[in-house]
Structure 1
Amino acid sequence: MDFVMKQALGGATKDMGKMLGGEEEKDPDAQKKEEERQEALRQQEEERKAKHARMEAEREKVRQQIRDKVSA
């Protein structure tokens, strides 16, 4: 029966065990990689927020210049 399943599914049998709740291959550096990924995401988010704050400050400066021109 196992032979028939392998023939029918081709190379998909390796992933079949994982889908059915079998053992997954563990990456020894998975924890470290995940921490590095999380840190990179945090850093990107901080950079994005800083860029947004700079852009908003510049916009407010332009708005104020327009207000000054209109009211003068």
Structure 2
Amino acid sequence: MSTRTIEIIVETNGSTRVQTRGFTGSACTDASRFIEEALGKRTSERTTPEFFQTTEQQQRLREGGG
């Protein structure tokens, strides 16, 4: 299983960014929801290609099946 991480980036102007790695589908938003709620109102959201992968697709990629 791949490593899952949640990064919180605080910019010099005080804005924050939450970035998830190793999650697929909506698991990333589920995992980071509590952090986003603690940080305040969301002003934007940008998804990664992993957001659109299913667990099955990710498993095939890890096994080299493309």
TM-score norm. by structure 2 comes to 0.22
Structure 1 or 2: larger helix share?
Answer: 1
Bigger CA radius of gyration: 1
**Structure number having the greater strand percentage:** 2
Q: Which has the higher contact order (CA 8 A, sep 6+)?
A: 2
